[in-house]
Structure 1
Amino acid sequence: MMISFKQLKHFSLHATDDDIGGCKDILFDDQDFIMRYLVADTNTWLPLSRKVVISPIAVTKVDTDEKKIHVSMSAQTLKDSPSIDEHKPVSREYEETLFKYFGYGYYWIGPGAWGDFAHPTELADADREAAMQEDNALHSQNHLRACGEVNGYDVATTEDEVGHVTDFIFDDTSWALRLLVIDTRNWLPGGKHLAVLPSAIEHIDWSSHKVKVNLSHDALMEKPEIDVDQLDDENYINQILQQAE
């Protein structure tokens, strides 16, 4: 099933024994285009609102009816997890510390977006130490960016600027970023919400707040319109994905 960033921001997070707040943001990988972390809103349960991140490895269920995300850890375990600075990028060294704390295998060791595995939950029981002996890429650069930051960036085609990023659509099993939603209303009166594949993204320019795509103006405007209220309709989503190619 598909779910959007804007939807997830209204979901609550539930540990095995307690409510742990809501989803504040999502950190995605701008190279593999996959969600790496949910950022928890800690205002209601953690002193000083310390930033806490949760890997999809820990997600056991996404309940769209109740708008809840269930994770396989206790509230205390999450409270005791390594802290992170709200205003600094997530480093590979921090990720190593975090994954050691939870006992996860490293997603950056192996050929796929989740290392040697197809789904993130499989990393919960992975043999991390054995994998490290086979691969020296532990301290390779990561590519983590926040949806909350990129949301609103202008979109630049090969010819001009058309609209801005307004949402992100994720697969709630693999947590791959499947579609970027472009709002053209600030460029075209009565504009559209267009669905674009991540493969169309050429570069995300953090300094100019722009997402550059390898599409012409006309090619972008021919992408399908998307209705996020139909994300739970598999036939609809498959149709949109085909049209976006």
Structure 2
Amino acid sequence: MISHKQMKQYSIHATDGDIGGCKDILFDDQDFVARYLVADTNSWLPLSRKVVISPIAVTKVNTEEQWLSINMSSQSIKEGPSIDEHKPVSREYEETLFKYFGYGYYWIGPGAWGDFSHPTQLVDQDLEREVEQAPAQPTNHLRSCNEVHGYDVETLNDDVGHITDFIFDNDGWTLQLFIIDTHNWLPGGKKLAVRPADVKNIDWSSHKVQVNLSHDALMQKPEIDMDRLADAAYLEAILAKA
């Protein structure tokens, strides 16, 4: 497991050298899975052009030394489709991106990664066949962790706390937990771990994350120690309680 805050400290190694650090994670608010890592390209691309990298390209995550490697060269990333940092990632852009890198489309099939359980299984799929089978353009469900960080949490009774972090597994890249900090609402507050299944809606206009929990039910969620994310047994216990 790895948190969004931790990932923002990671460097990204391409096949021919570093390409900067991880700036953000874009997640799907329907399937709750990380769709893209956003690279900070200040050190090597003019005007710091925004670069998004699919987890499909990630070959290794080193949690001790805080870096991840991808099976792409810096040149292939540099020549890839550009994107405006201040606009949402559209499905049309995703199709262009996936065609350029030769990935299959994750939105074709019943699972979080289409017909597959792991993102790397989408490499070298038959894109032409998939285009023919593709349904009508669905609604875009991509959201930025940087954006949602700080959103208030609305229970069935009141507002309690705000979103302070996100925990992903670094294998299938699923979003496992939302971390809610209640210090601004309650004296001696806590950091609580909540499953995505408890999230009812993410309201961009009001900057709130609505949960299907009462105030008391939310306060019964397990408190998490963010310094123990490397402890597999500890995380397993938290996930069982969340």
TM-score above 0.5, yes or no: yes
Q: Which runs of 5+ in 2 are unaligned?
A: none
Q: 2:182 — aligned with what?
A: 184
Q: 1:42 — aligned with what?
A: 41
Q: Alpha-carbon deviation of 1:99?
A: 0.2
Give the 3-state SS of the residue equivalent to 1:125 in structure 2: coil
TM-score, scaled to structure 2 = 0.98
Q: 2:4 — aligned with what?
A: 5
What one-letter code is carried by the residue in structure 2 that aligns with 1:194? L
2:180, 2:135 → 1: CA distance? Answer: 38
Q: Alpha-carbon deviation of 1:230?
A: 1.4
Q: Alpha-carbon deviation of 1:237?
A: 1.1
Bigger mean CA offset, 228-237 vs 160-169: 228-237
How do residues 1-245 of structure 1 correspond to structure 2 at under 5 angstroms?
Answer: 2-137=1-136, 139-244=137-242
1:105, 1:128 → 2: CA distance? Answer: 6
Count of matched residue pairs: 242
2:232, 2:129 → 1: CA distance? Answer: 38
Give the 3-state SS of the residue equivalent to 1:69 in structure 2: strand
Q: Deviations over 1:131-159 (max 9, x none)?
A: 2333324x222200100000000000000
What one-letter code is carried by the residue in structure 2 that aligns with 1:243? K
Give the 3-state SS of the residue equivalent to 2:123 in structure 1: helix
Q: 8 Å contact 1:109–1:132 — kept in the other structure?
A: no
Cα RMSD after superposing both structures: 0.8
TM-score, scaled to structure 1 = 0.97
Give the 3-state SS of the residue equivalent to 1:26 in structure 2: strand
Q: Alpha-carbon deviation of 1:130?
A: 2.1
Give the 3-state SS of the residue equivalent to 1:232 in structure 2: coil
1:5, 1:207 → 2: CA distance? Answer: 23
1:116, 1:144 → 2: CA distance? Answer: 19
Identity %: 70
Bigger mean CA offset, 120-129 vs 160-169: 120-129
Q: Deviations over 1:40-83 (max 9, x none)?
A: 00111100111100000000000011110100000000111100
What one-letter code is carried by the residue in structure 1 that aligns with 2:164? T
Give the 3-state SS of the residue equivalent to 1:37 in structure 2: strand
1:102, 1:127 → 2: CA distance? Answer: 12
2:36, 2:226 → 1: CA distance? Answer: 22
